[in-house]
Amino acid sequence: MLRHYSPLIRSRGKAIRRFVSKIGLVYFGTVDQHEDEHEVIRGLTVSTTHRDAHYAVGSFDDYDISLVDRFDVSYDNNHRPTEHSWLIIQVNLQDVTLPHVFFKPLGHSPAAYNRFFTAFNTLHVINDVFNDTHSGEFHARYELYGLATHVAALEDTLTPFVTQTIAARLWPHAIEIFEGKLYVYITEHRLNEAVLGSTLQSATWLASVLDKKQD
């Protein structure tokens, strides 16, 4: 691993620990996916080589949530390494029947996700077949990956108002719905409690929409 202990990483860790303490999550710190007995946060970034720090679990806005700071390294065709960091918020959905979709943020950190699309190569960009009443802001900020056969079902939940709100509240974070979980991926290196708080609130809002608790 290339990662070194820097003031930036130290500051990032302090912000995460303060935030976790403030909202009352149970903090476990660094966990080993191969040895520790904990539920591994999965989704697009899971791999056999990732390392997880600042793992915490609890509840927020009536949802069971987990949070982890994940680090991994990918290599290009010339074997040059690229480091990746994601602060991942996982929300356990009540509706476990939702299809697998991924909101890829445009114009921000594309390398953080491109390498991992090989794991889900059946997903395709469905913006073009999504209803054209969805806002230009949404289409400019996100590529929506899924299966065309799921578009009709998705549009019942991801209304133009919802996608507009996603674009306004959650960009530039990536979003994934997979196997009854909602994942939000934050790639900013400089984290603070304000970013973490607003993102978590937006994540549980989206979870409530997906569970049809609200529009």
As given in the structure block, the two tokens for residue 101 are 């979709």
- 51 confidence band (pLDDT: 50, 70, 90): confident
Mean pLDDT of the region 64-88: 82
Paired tokens of 151: 């578009």
Total-model pTM: 0.89
- Name the β-bridge partners of 90: 66, 183
Element (H, E) at 56: strand 51-60
CA 140 to chain centre: 19
Tell whether the model's pLDDT for residue 15 goes beyond 60.
Answer: yes
Q: Nearest to residue 29, comparing CAs of 86, 84, 83, 67?
A: 67
User: Percentage of the chain surpassing pLDDT 90?
Assistant: 52
Q: Is residue 111 within 8 Å of residue 75, measured between CB atoms?
A: no
Cα(106)–Cα(41) distance, integer angstroms: 24
pLDDT of residue 1: 44
If you average pLDDT over every residue of the chain, what do you get?
Answer: 85
* 53-69 mean pLDDT: 94
pLDDT tens column, 134-190: 999 999 999 999 998 888 888 889 999 999 999 999 999 999 999 999 999 998 878
Measured CA to CA, the distance from residue 115 to residue 80 in angstroms comes to 13
CA gap 74, 176 in Å, rounded: 20
Separation between Cα atoms, residue 215 and residue 213, nearest integer Å: 7
Q: Report how far Cα 84 is from the mean position of its chain's Cα atoms.
A: 14
Half-sphere exposure for 185 (CA within 13 Å, toward CB): 25
206 in Cβ contact with 175 (< 8 Å): yes
Q: Cα dist. 71→31, 32, 53, 62, 193 in Å?
A: 12, 12, 8, 29, 20
Q: Which of 42-56, 62-76, 139-153 has the highest mean pLDDT?
A: 139-153
Task: Kindly tell me if the per-residue pLDDT of 36 is higher than 80.
Answer: no
| pLDDT-based confidence at residue 29 (cuts at 50, 70, 90) | confident
Q: What is the mean pLDDT of residues 95-117?
A: 81
